[in-house]
């Protein structure tokens, strides 16, 4: 068994999703690992990682509409507003959707279902540079 680890950065253009499936698949291929696990991690507290339907963009628009209603920017409930109306909602959205994600590796590939894509979800309104670590562990 062996461990392979890679870092990459994603520049986001504000609130919304970025499909990082190809980057994750490339890290798995580069590792040479045939059977095991692939862990993806985002080193921030106001952006997250998720598996989501990868075919129809309206799924991610509806998800954004849902989260915007569930955790409204500028809600009077929030006192932590140092970085603006989207500060605290970004932390809560990240906690609800998670910053870590673990996927199976089979036959040298990330064994996602047909409709599963890996997405970085930026919750801040302004674009950010986001730092990610992919760790692949298993048998070559």
Q: Give residues in contact with a copy of itself (CB under 8 A).
A: 1-3, 5, 35-37, 39, 41-45, 50-53, 56, 58-59, 61-63, 65-66, 69-71, 77-80, 82, 88, 91-92, 94-104, 106, 111-116, 131, 133, 135, 137-139
Rounded to a whole number of angstroms, the minimum distance from the CB of residue 14 to a copy of itself is 19
**Calculated CA dihedral for residues 25, 98, 70, 18, nearest 10 degrees:** -30
Closest CA to 123 of 18, 3, 9, 23: 18
Rounded to a whole number of angstroms, the minimum distance from the CB of residue 132 to a copy of itself is 10
| Number of neighbours of residue 1 by Cβ within 10 angstroms | 9
Whichever of 62 and 126 has its CB closer to a copy of itself, that residue is 62
Whichever of 22 and 96 has its CB closer to a copy of itself, that residue is 96
Closest CA to 3 of 29, 43, 51, 36: 36
């Amino acid at each position: 068994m062996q461990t392979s680890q890679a870092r990459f950065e994603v520049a986001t253009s504000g609130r919304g999703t970025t499909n990082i499936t190809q980057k994750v698949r490339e890290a798995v291929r580069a590792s040479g690992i045939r059977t095991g696990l692939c862990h993806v991690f985002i080193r921030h507290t106001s952006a997250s990682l998720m598996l989501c339907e990868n075919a129809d963009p309206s799924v991610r628009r509806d998800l954004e509409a849902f989260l915007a209603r569930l955790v409204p920017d500028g809600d009077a409930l929030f006192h932590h507003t140092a970085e603006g109306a989207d500060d605290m909602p970004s932390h809560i959205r990240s906690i609800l959707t998670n910053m870590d994600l673990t996927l199976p590796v089979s036959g040298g590939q990330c064994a996602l279902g047909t409709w599963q894509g890996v997405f970085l979800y930026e919750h801040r309104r302004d674009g950010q540079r986001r730092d990610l670590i992919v760790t692949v562990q298993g048998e070559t």
